[in-house]
Structure 1
Amino acid sequence: MIIVSGWLSVDPQERAGYLAGCEDVMAQARKAPGCLDFALSADPIEPGRILVYERWESDADVERFRGAGPDSGQAALIRDAQVARYRISAVEAP
């Protein structure tokens, strides 16, 4: 299992528009083979921060979906980012 998780930073006044522009991508991802979960959401504390969470069955599934990433308009809005890919070797019940 692969988890992609982290955050993006945009200007606070741009966050709602950025997230609205991602709705189609989120819907497409959730229908993609191997996607178990895909969400971009507003951080409840920091006004310009967007939380990233993706869960995939395999690296191949991530790469097949990935494409070119955010379009140039969205990429221009990102001020900072910290997102990493985690390879999960085991899953346990809480």
Structure 2
Amino acid sequence: MILVAGALHIEPAGRTAYLDGCAEVVAQARGTEGCRDFALSADLLDPSRINVFECWDTEAQLQRFRGSGPNSGQQEAILRADVHEYRV
């Protein structure tokens, strides 16, 4: 099993819009074979932070999904990312 966990940091004023724009990606991920969980959420203490958590059956399934990635607007909004993969 592969866990992906960490945080994205964006401008606080844009966080709600960023998360709203990710709803389709979350739904798509959760419907993908091998995805056990996929969540993006607003941090309760840091207004610039978005918490990331994913759980996948295999690395191959994760990588197939990963090919879609964030759109260019989402990518440009990320000021810093601290997200890591863990094999369990």
Q: For the superposition of Structure 1 and Structure 2, which TM-score range results when normalised by the shorter chain?
A: over 0.9
The count of residues paired between Structure 1 and Structure 2 equals 88
- What's the C-alpha RMSD, in Å, of the aligned pairs? 0.6
Q: 5 Å matches for 1:27-42? A: 27-42=27-42
State the percentage of identical aligned residues.
52
The unaligned stretches of length 5 or more in structure 1 are 89-94
2:20 paired residue number: 20
The unaligned stretches of length 5 or more in structure 2 are none
After superposition, the C-alpha distances for 1:3-52 in whole angstroms (9 at most, x for unaligned) are: 00000000000000000010000000000000000000000000010000
> Bigger radius of gyration, 1 or 2?
1
> Against the structure 1 CA distance between its residues 30 and 68, is the aligned structure 2 distance closer, same or farther, given a 3 Å change threshold?
closer
1:67 paired residue number: 67
**How many Å separate the matches in 2 of 1:30 and 1:13?**
27
Letter of the 2:43 counterpart: D
Runs of 4+ with deviation above 3 angstroms: none
Normalised by the length of structure 2, the TM-score is 0.97
